[in-house]
Every structure is written in C-alpha cells, then in structure tokens.
Chains A and B, each alone.
Chain A
C-alpha cells in the first residue's frame, strides 16, 4: 500500500538516507538514472508490462555518507574520509531525519534496509516504471547537500 504522508513535511521523521549525486545550479540533485533515479534492470526489476517489481530493490542509499563505497565519495573529501576516490563533480546529499529502518520514505516509496549500512528506496507497490521514477523525482526538493 502506498504510504500516506498526509500533511507532514515530506522529510520529517522519514528515514535519514544519503546518496552521492550530481547537482543542478539550484543546488538540488540532478534527476537521472545514475543520480536521483534508478537504472531499470539493474537497480530495479521491471516486468514485461514495464511495471517495477516490489522485491527490496531500488535506489541505493546509506544511513551516513561515510558508509558509501569509498570509490563514490568525492575525492575532495579525503581529509575527512581517507581513500575517497569519487568524482569531484558529485556531492553527498541527505534526505529525511528519522532512523534508518524499514518504512515509508515518501509518497509511493519505502526504505528497505538490507544491512545496517545500506538500503534501497523501493516502490511501495507494483507501479509503472514512470510512476516510480516520478515518485523519486518528487523528493528532489527535500534533498540537501551534507558533507559534514
């Protein structure tokens, strides 16, 4: 069932998640399959009708940017996280302020942790790929750059 977030601000009490993405001139993340989005067939499974399956897969996130694969963390953050090898054209973004636990993340989306340091932003129900991508894109204004 699609979570109803009602009148709540989208990111309040929702799980806090981090993701490395490019940003646009408005300082918000770029919408795209390698940024704020998913790669169909890789990050999510899509059936013959182009519906996204509900199986725990989704857009990869972590409870802290330091937990993300060091090859994705921008190299400029080496003074904070030694061994960072990511592109300096990308940035660490944060969404939400709640615990990293399974549950609603935004309208149509849930967080599905698969370990204490990784999870996926998954569709809450079987939906067309475009709907799922739209639900992810709708969170754009609630992501903030956070490399602290």
Chain B
C-alpha cells in the first residue's frame, strides 16, 4: 500500500494554524492575554465545520505540541514491548496510517529520546501533508540536538514547504 497524504480541509488547516499561534502564546505565559482570546474567538467557526475525525486529529496535534515546551516524561529503559510498539509506529508510518503512527509514538514516547520523538512526529506530518506542523517538530528536534544534521535539514525543508504552501 502506498502512503498517501491526508486530505486536510481548509477548516482543519485554519484550526491547526490557530493552534500553533496559541501554543506560542501559552509557552510565553500569555494564555489569558487578549491575543490568546482573539485566536480562540477566530477559531470557533472553523472548529464547528470540522468532522469528528478532524476534531480528534486537531486535539491530538494540540496535545503533542505541548511537548515543544513542557518537560518530557521520565525516560524509561527500553523493553521488548516498547520496542515492538515503536516498530509498529514505524510500520504504520510506512503504510501511511498517520493517526495510528502518531498514537503509537504517544503511547511509547517515554522510551525514546525527546529529539527523536519530535523528529519522527515531524516526518509523519511532513508526509501527511502538513509541513507547518512538521517544521515545528523538526525545529524542536534540532534545538534539542543541534549536532544532528538530518534534524536541521528536515527543519529547513519543512519550513520552505510550509512557506510555499501558505502562498
């Protein structure tokens, strides 16, 4: 089976763009600011237009993006079960089962390095068709591990793609 990008509606993309902006403000301690309220106000219409699948996807993106500025869970020693779960995540990504791959990464995130986690999330969103979200995760991976050239290269690629997509 060939992995295909998701069909992302304009309402979904508007919702996620608002999520990016709101996360930036929350990270700066401005969750109660007028700018944050303006983003919430502006996002209600798009939210109402989303299907239940899109709503779930938008909520999970928002949840995963907290990892860009929150403390990661305590690192766990790799187990056979965790390795199997991560292998499943890789396989799901190869098959284009984007939501499932992201869900598996969420389940087993404590067993992998936070920079690798963000890199993998970035690769999924890049292939799934949301380079702007991918860029945020690649940027995080690069910030945590600036020595890794792949992280930097993927960040630049996703950033360029997201700029192209927004024009």
Residue pair B32, A71 in contact (C-beta under 8 Å): no
- Chain B residue numbers with a CB within 8 Å of A84 are 59, 62
Most A Cβ at <10 Å: residue of B18, B31, B43, B59: B59
* Chain A contact residues: helix, strand, loop or mixed: loop
Q: Which residues of B sit under 8 angstroms from A78, Cβ to Cβ? A: 63, 66
The answer to the question of B44 belonging to the interface, with a C-beta cut-off of 8 Å to chain A, is yes
The answer to whether B59 and A70 have CB atoms under 8 Å apart is yes
* Nearest-CB residue, chain A, relative to B18: A71
Q: Would you mind naming 24 contact pairs between A and B with Cβ atoms under 8 Å apart? A: A69-B44, A69-B47, A70-B47, A70-B55, A70-B58, A70-B62, A71-B18, A71-B19, A71-B43, A71-B62, A72-B40, A75-B26, A78-B66, A81-B59, A83-B58, A83-B60, A83-B63, A84-B62, A85-B19, A87-B31, A87-B32, A88-B31, A89-B32, A115-B48
Separation of A95 and B60 alpha carbons in the complex (Å): 28
Does A23 belong to the interface (CB within 8 Å)? no
* 0/1 string, A54-91, CB within 8 A of B gives 1: 00000010000000011110010010011111111100
Q: A82 near B63 (CB under 8 angstroms)?
A: yes
Question: Range of interface residues on chain A?
Answer: 20 to 34
A81 to B55, CA, bound (A): 12
Q: Are A69 and B43 in contact (CB under 8 A)?
A: yes
Residues of chain A with a CB closer than 8 A to B59's CB: 70, 81-84
Looking at the assembled complex, report how far the CB atom of A46 sits from the nearest CB atom of chain B, in whole angstroms: 18
Complex contacts, A34 vs chain B, CB 8 Å: 37
Cβ of B26: which chain A residues have Cβ within 8 Å of it? 75, 85
State in angstroms the CA–CA spacing of A72 and B59 once bound together. 12
Chain A 21-41 interface 0/1 with B at a Cβ cutoff of 8 Å (1 = within): 000000000000010000000
Q: Does B93 sit within 8 A of A, measured CB to CB?
A: no
